[in-house]
Amino acid sequence: MADIVLDKVSKRFPDGTTAVRGVDLEIADGEFVILVGPSGCGKSTTLNMIAGLEDISSGELRIAGQRVNDKAPRDRDIAMVFQSYALYPNMTVRENMAFPLRLAKLDKESIHQKVEEAAKVLELTPLLDRKPANLSGGQRQRVAMGRAIVRQPKAFLMDEPLSNLDAKLRVQMRTVVSRLQKQLGTTTVYVTHDQTEAMTLGDRVVIMRGGAVQQVGPPQELYDHPRNLFVAGFIGSPSMNFLHAAVEDGHLRTALGDVPIGDRVRRQLDGADAPRELILGIRPEHFEDAALIDDETRRRGLEFDAPVDIVESMGSDKYVYFTVEGERASAAELEELAADAGAADFTGTGSSLVTRLSAESPVREGESRRVWFNLEKIHLFDPSTGRNLTLHEGRASGALAD
Amino acid sequence: MAVETTTRAKVRWGLLDVIVVVFALVPVLWIASLSFKTPATLTDGKFWPREWTLDNYRTIFDTDQFVRALVNSIGIALIATLIAVVLGAMAAYAISRLDFPGKKLLVGVSLLIAMFPQVSLVSPLFEIERQLGLFDTWPGLILPYITFALPLAIYTLSAFFKQIPWDLEKAAKMDGATQGQAFRRVIAPLAAPGLFTTAILVFIFCWNDFLFAITLTSTERARTVPVALSFFTGESQFEDPTGAICAAAVVITIPIILFVLFFQRRIVSGLTSGAVKG
């Protein structure tokens, strides 16, 4: 049980690349923190530095108040679960789990007891005498977890522990991990590239990009109040829609029509070096079929007509894809996100808009539909810096705020 | 690969296999057959001995010469194999895991040693060993054997080490192992098939060497079997030692077969399966 503090921790490789730059992070005792970001963002390197498997180039790492920069992994008293599970194939499940205890020179009796205990928690008892080769993926994953919890370390580090499991099992194991962490109350740092895991598991989420921390906060806060374009695009599934918006005397010209802006945003746009082009971001659930909303709600938003491309009925609601004409939003962050999703080369004409409408909506593919969207939930981003202009004291306030 | 083997194809391949096996084994069987023939029937050209005799075997084991050489051979080959495999394992581990300055040079030089024609080194080695007092001693043969076996050992072993997921070593370190413990308790057991394969290859190399053995030895102190064979003579100069040589050839094949059979059982494939999601 311990807190972990990263104080301006950086990692530079001998070939000159900087994998992690100046990460400041305080992880409280017992907290469950998720490091998330696209591949190559430095999240795994950060975890390896906490583990002691990578040297820290500069900055300080403290575990339980003690500087551990120069300590070997074995002297840091932390356990790690690897993406590949890394079970010792020549040992049985029992021997695998006992391995850290045997290295710690515990006596046979207490090793036996601790292994049995951990096996019971993870429901591994009937498998104890099997070799890893005879286990399923989910069972191997549990053995890897068992090996980590068996010696009650100060902290757990998990490097994408669920990414090798199939989708159904992953959801199931997610709850196992979550329950286990709450039960043991051990400080946990968890690396993933899956934003769903990040949203569902952690007390706090750290979003990284290019080796730097973008935003740290509870999942809901990151979702509602993204500090920049990258965070906004990364969190959420389906992800936020981004549209090009040109600033023209007092309003924004977008593919969805002219969007009025309030005083607060206007003040930011008055400066001499203020951007003339913005990126408008809006989440799928902030659209609604215009026929289904009352007048009171209608006043808070705008309506537009667009041809319906595809309707995906999810039962509880409908994902409706529209094509809107006009310039595509472009920014380095967006390209990076598209590349990470593997959709960089997937470009249609015009912009595609994802909306999440009520299940009652009678929308059909091929027709043109009138759709309403909520102006209070709009985010505006500066394309050059990625900064969220609608964020005020950490809270997003929409385009209209005064 | 879904191959539908027709009966005709089976017969064709079977015939081909039989031809290859016969081609490879006939000389061996011929030697064995010669070793059981009496001197009178030695040159009768019959594959099956008309008169069986064990005299040839008695002859070679009666001469102190052969028994001494056998002891030398076994001792020298075993020691050289052990040292070459241990050193090779350490070097191969470093090469496959670390990125140290001069790594390419080291690998290149070791390859160079393996390629260097041994015959051109024999005279300088002879001089050096005489000066150092290593001539006609066990170490005098063990040292060159290690030198020439090491590149082979390093190459084979680093291929095996590269197959072992690095995550296992990291996991061992996280579990509280020192570098040494991680190697001994996790990596080495997994590299066992590689170690045994290398041991077999190195042992065969040492066992079969003739060139170094004949140049760097002069008496029974360190003379190995292949050399001793060439010194076989009959009881008088008119007597043909062919039968004895054949018997000795059969005898020295046996340790190698035993050695290979013994270690082959330990070369089980798929030892790392289940370590990581493959």
**Chain B neighbors of A137, CB-CB under 8 A:** 277
DSSP B175: T
Report cis status (omega within 30 of 0) of the bond before A238. Answer: yes
> Degrees (nearest 5) of the Cα angle A142, A147, A153?
125
Q: Is B220's pLDDT higher than 90? A: no
Query: Distance (Å, rounded) from C-alpha A319 to C-alpha A329?
Result: 21
Q: Give me the residue spans of the domains in chain B.
A: 1-53, 62-276
**What is the pLDDT at residue A16?**
87
- What pLDDT, on a 0 to 100 scale, did the predictor assign at position B1? 47
Domain with CATH 3.40.50.300 in chain A: 4-229
Identify all chain B residues contacting A151, using CB atoms and an 8 Å cutoff.
176
**Range from A109-123, A136-150, A346-360 carrying the lowest mean pLDDT:** A346-360
| pLDDT, chain A, mean | 90
Tens-place pLDDT, residues B94-110: 898 888 888 889 888 88
Domain A239-396: top CATH class:
mainly beta
Residues from A contacting B (CB-CB < 8 Å) are: 51-53, 72-74, 78-80, 82-90, 99-100, 103-104, 131-135, 137, 140, 147, 151, 157, 164
Residue B258: both structure tokens together: 């035993």
pLDDT in tens, B171-185: 999 999 998 899 888
ipTM score above 0.90? no
Fold of the B62-276 domain: MetI-like fold (1.10.3720)
Q: Is B11 exposed, middle or buried (0-12, 13-18, 19+ CB in 10 A)?
A: exposed
Q: What is the pTM of this model?
A: 0.80
Buried/exposed A320-344: b ≥16 CB within 10 Å, e otherwise: bbbbbeeeebebebbebbbebeeee
Q: How far is B87 from chain A (nearest CA, A)?
A: 24
CA–CA dist A149, A161 (Å, integer): 14
What is the per-residue pLDDT across A261-301, written as a single tens digit (0 to 9) for each?
888 888 888 776 778 889 999 999 999 999 998 988 888 89
What integer is the mean pLDDT of A188-210?
93
Mean pLDDT score of chain B: 86
Q: What average pLDDT score do residues B255-262 get? A: 83
| Average pLDDT of the segment spanning B65-71 | 89
Whether B172 sits inside 8 A of A164 (CB atoms) is: no
User: Is the pLDDT score of B278 beyond 50?
Assistant: no
**Cβ of B174 and A78 within 8 Å?**
yes
* Position B276 confidence tier, pLDDT thresholds 50, 70, 90: low
Chain centroid to CA A18: 22
d(CA A185, CA B4): 59
Assign A226 a pLDDT band (cuts: 50, 70, 90). very high
Interchain CB distance below 8 Å, B276 and A104: no
Least confident of A142-151, A166-175, A366-375, B44-53: B44-53
Worst-scoring range by mean pLDDT, A74-83, A199-208, A320-329, B127-136? Answer: A320-329
Beta bridge partners of A307: A368
Residue of A279, A269, A302, A270 lying closest to A376 (CA atoms): A302
Q: How far apart are CA B16 and CA A179, in angstroms?
A: 64
Percent of chain A surpassing pLDDT 90: 66
In chain A, CATH 2.40.50.140 covers: 239-396
User: How close B86 comes to chain A (CA, Å)?
Assistant: 21
Across the range B62-90, mean pLDDT stands at 91
Q: Report which of residues A32 and B6 the model is more confident about.
A: A32
Q: What CATH number should be reported for the domain whose range is A4-229? A: 3.40.50.300
